[in-house]
Structure 1
């Protein structure tokens, strides 16, 4: 396999001596094994020591060999739902549920501009990389008038940090004067939103195998978007060959809103608009009845499970195990940093397991995730949601080398014999190496593509500027 971003001049990468969880269809694991990467693609994986490549001549670069002793190698984590601009709005509305939280934050978010979004996105993506994420989506739906190229700012930030990036061009057309939740000043009219969505596909979407940037379209939610915009966006996305994303069934308030406004549940509303299907993934899906679970499974509609955000906002316990058991695609998301300040996808593995067990209780323990199930939705599950399951999400020959090599030999993990349990149930593990398409992004716990201290300083300054309402 070759694809966008391949570098034929890069040396062969060999990682060996580590435990490996491939997360392939058979759940193959090795207590001590190796992986070989050429030109950004996994070419071999197995137990024991790696075979040494035959020299291609004196001018050929020597292979890079990484000693993985004391480490666990997994696919890089895949983040399927985020709002990167929120990184500079953390710590606000600490005790609010979703509608109150949005009401407090919308006026602050109305101040964002291109510089602030670029700064926030760099910080958020840098932190995702430092905590094991190699691919991230982003749902940017807020476009205050005169704020600049906000979507482009997130894409440029991802290129700088070096993550694989699947941003979505969001939209809102239903402001407070039309019965929606957001202030009128942050919504667009339908034609403007659709024109900008079309432009985003033409300007940024790269459909080539292994591409680093793919666009989706993502009207925000039932309480901020009209039915017309939902339907026309779906038509536009399908004509352009891109995926669809939105929030759905996040809270009981949303269900009450849909019942009063549309006479049906959020899932029924989405289906009536043509918003269920294998090209759709929905954020949260906390409040689903049994029929909704079956419909998502039957249509191949994905769910981005955001356990920590759901807990932070008191939204509820999503039926994740029921979705998985029914065959519906499920991935993980950190959600916006304003409702999940930690922003660490590796922590979502544990949160997903814990909340699943809370939902199952003691009466149905078999209806809860286990450690490997949590790792699966955080890797190949997320790749499936983004339409990338044949490229990333598991460690197999022919897939792109998006890898996370976790150190498990320190005080926080060393006495847990099962390395997958150590990763999922233990404290966040430090990274020895994170690679995207075979290229190093994090090494020995340090971000190699940007200065993390500078990102922190710039994010702090941008946050202060947003809080006092000034623009450059």
Structure 2
């Protein structure tokens, strides 16, 4: 088992229960596990030693909601300046041309960008399975995560309610329910590792109330609980979703979840903007979690997440990047900054501080994923998942007064070092062992091909913005 000693840090921000900080601190790691941490630890050598002088160490950020396959549809002019349903309708016609190699490359790009922004654990929601392509697409992003060395929590998503059955997605990107359930079992049985320091856990994740049937929701919750895995879906993201549920089912979105078994400590939802006060109280009581995705919500004009009500009612709240097409970035540190600014606008001086936003992105996210025993803070017995920033960088000059808030309030969303499970995966701001330029080149070729195929088959110019009505 290899060992790692990180010594002489300017500060170690632990995010433990007491919010301890260790100025001039050090950390000793064996394998994935932190063995000692503090200002004076009894370890002077290790297989690898990092002198962290001038650097601040933070717990790795945890992304609770993403769609890595969307990385190739960022900055599409025709998908800008629209709300969720129109945005989805536009992009479904591009996503139907996904190939397995596209899924791998898009995950390499998205996960790589996340690692470079201090993210060490990612939950991804993969739900687009084009009819003409192999169903084993989630395997490609799992392969990418392993190549990069990031801790990964992919959720096997699904869509079964195509347009011919009254749903939103085109029939070409939905699957029948037998296929969905069979492949969900395969993915869980093949990949899920429930151990404390697992690098790969699996969840079950029907896409949304407007793209799956009630029967699939019920069958999926039963399947997930049979295997003891967690459950994830989009919910209460827009008023359009609520209108759809009321019109088609005569239910509010959370009522649909209750009827189909989608409520409890093993469930987390993405977005959660449009819950009423009674529902927020219920969410806190039942232990459901929420992935808050501020950039996506702002871009798609979905609304503003009531974060203070959620936290006051003991709802578990974590941070999610979402997209990348509904964000156009995969930067976790930037997302923390945006969350901080959004809620300052919403609540003024009583809003969450930068430190509290960092807590949501670390400890809060670990609770949402049910993984708080191993990740979310830097403590003895937990995983050595962390990032470092070098305070000697120009953008931090004149700002070295509050180490905890520093990367949230100032600088660029770029870290100097990222370590996952005791292994250095970003060093000097670059991915270790990965040719970034080659990946970027291959990825853009794939993205161009998808856009050209969609344009040819739909007669739509995706490079031109929609005309205003």
Distance change (3 Å), C-alpha of 1:262 and 1:340: same
In structure 1, the partner of 2:342 is 355
Distance 2:221 2:10 in 1: 45
Distance 2:64 2:176 in 1: 27
Q: What is the aligned partner in structure 1 of residue 324 from structure 2? A: 337
Q: Which runs of 4+ in 1 moved over 4 A?
A: none
Q: Which residue of 2 aligns with 1:444?
A: 428
Separation of aligned partners in 2, 1:455 and 1:12: 29
Q: Give the counterpart of 1:462 among 446, 458, 461.
A: 446
TM-score, structure 2 as length reference: 0.93
Contact between 1:408 and 1:423, CA under 8 Å: does it hold in 2?
no
Q: Structure 1 residue 276 and structure 2 residue 260: aligned? A: no
Say which is worse superposed, 22-31 or 217-226, in terms of deviation: 22-31
One of 277, 280, 305 as aligned partner of 1:318: 305
Q: Does 1:52 align with 2:52?
A: no
Q: What are the superposed Cα offsets for residues 436-472 of structure 1, whole Å, 9 maximum, x if unpaired? A: 110110011111031111111111011011112299x
Contact 1:175/1:183 (8 A) holds in 2: yes
Structure 2 contact 9–56 (Cα < 8 Å) conserved: no
> Is contact 1:251-1:286 (8 Å) kept?
yes
Match of 1:162 in 2: 149
Contact 1:310 1:317 in 2 (8 A): yes
Q: Deviations over 1:246-270 (max 9, x none)?
A: 0000111111112222223212221
Query: Is 2:4 the counterpart of 1:12?
Result: yes
Structure 1 residue 51: deviation in Å?
3.3
How is 1:140-151 mapped onto 2 (pairs within 5 angstroms)?
140-148=126-134, 149-151=136-138
**Contact 2:11/2:57 (CA < 8 Å) preserved in 1?**
yes
Give distance in 1, aligned partners of 2:153 and 2:257.
22
Task: Specify the alignment match of 1:308 in structure 2.
Answer: 295
Uncovered stretches (5+) of structure 2, i.e. residues with no partner: 457-469
Following superposition, the deviation at residue 359 of structure 1 comes to 2.3
CA contact (8 A) 1:309 1:339 kept: yes
Are 2:127 and 2:207, in contact at CA under 8 Å, matched by a contact in 1? yes
8 Å Cα contact 2:5/2:26 also seen in 1: no
- What SS does the aligned partner of 1:221 have? coil
Is the CA contact (8 Å cut-off) linking 1:259 and 1:265 kept in structure 2?
yes
Deviation of 1:17 after TM superposition, in Å, equals 2.5
| Alpha-carbon RMSD | 1.6
Structure 2 residue 395 is matched with structure 1 residue 408: no
Distance 1:353 1:152 in 2: 35
- Contact 1:167/1:216 (<8 A) preserved: yes
> Which whole-Å CA distance do the structure 2 matches of 1:209 and 1:23 have between them?
19
Between 95-104 and 424-433, report the one with greater CA deviation.
424-433
Q: Deviations over 1:30-69 (max 9, x none)?
A: 333221112221111112x54334x7xxxxxx44332223
Partner of 2:354: 371
Q: Distance in 2 between matches of 1:228 and 1:465?
A: 36
Other structure's SS at 1:134 match: strand
Deviation by residue 1:105-125 (Cα, 9 ceiling, x = unmatched):
101101101011111111111
Residue of structure 2 in register with 1:85 after alignment: 69
Distance, in Å, in 1 between the alignment partners of 2:416 and 2:74 is 28
Q: CA deviation at 1:70?
A: 2.4
1:236 Cα offset (Å): 0.1
Q: What's the secondary structure of 2:417's corresponding residue?
A: strand
Deviations 1:271-320 (CA, angstroms, capped at 9, x unpaired): 22221111011001111111111111111100000001111111110011
- What's the TM-score once normalised by structure 1's chain length? 0.93
**Match for 2:407 among 408, 412, 423?**
423
Show the 5 A alignment for 1:129-140.
129-140=115-126
Match of 1:58?
Answer: none
Tell me by how many angstroms 1:379 deviates. Answer: 0.9
Q: Which residue of the partner structure matches residue 24 of structure 1?
A: 16
Partner of 1:399: 382
Which of 69, 91, 101 aligns to 1:115? It is 101
Per the alignment, residue 38 of structure 1 pairs with 30
Equivalent residue number for residue 84 of structure 2:
98
